[in-house]
Amino acid sequence: MSDRTPPSPTLVAAVLVAVGAVPWSVQTFVGGEVFLRFVWGGVSFEPAVTVQPLVSYPLVSGPPILLRWAGATACWLGAVVSAATNQVGLEDPRVTTGLLALAGFLNLLVALEFGVQPTRTGYPTGTAAVWLAAGWRYARADPARRRLV
């Protein structure tokens, strides 16, 4: 039996929003350029600071990597919605945790695919953040809500 009290709904929401504010991957290019890929879009710094929202990318008609990026975003948004139901006592932490774990996995695939390209390297910073949040949410859940059945 755990003596930890479950986190407040506001704290859970704040953690998940913070995860969305972290760059989900940092991509570095051979020439020293850096591209930050967030859950909501990308920021490049060469030749000038450029911000491009995720919805402006050809998600369905473009390369599969873009669809996985959108999938990670959708899972994260689903986790935020799931956590928001905690405000009225309806959240199932297993759903929130599962969606976060899946978002981290999809993001890892995106970062790895960027990382195998010869001119750039991808670092999955968001995967670490999402998986840490998922572990924290699951560990801090009411033990009765962690049962599989």
- What pLDDT does 75 receive? 96
41: left (phi over 0), alpha (psi -120 to 50) or beta: left
- What pLDDT does 81 receive? 93
Q: pLDDT band for position 82 (50/70/90)?
A: very high
Q: pLDDT band for position 1 (50/70/90)?
A: very low
Q: pLDDT band for position 6 (50/70/90)?
A: confident
Q: What is the pLDDT of residues 101-132, one digit of tens each?
A: 999 999 999 988 887 888 888 899 999 999 99
- What pLDDT does 118 receive? 85
As a whole number, mean pLDDT of residues 83-92 equals 85
Pick the residue with more confidence: 11 or 141?
Answer: 11
**C-alpha distances in Å from residue 90, one per residue of 17, 85, 101:** 19, 5, 20
- Give kind and range of the element (H or E) at residue 78: helix 64-84
d(CA 39, CA 57): 13
Pick the residue with more confidence: 13 or 5?
Answer: 13
- What pLDDT does 61 receive? 76
State which amino acid sits at residue 21.
Answer: A
pTM for the whole structure = 0.85
Collapsing DSSP to helix, strand or coil, 115 comes out as helix
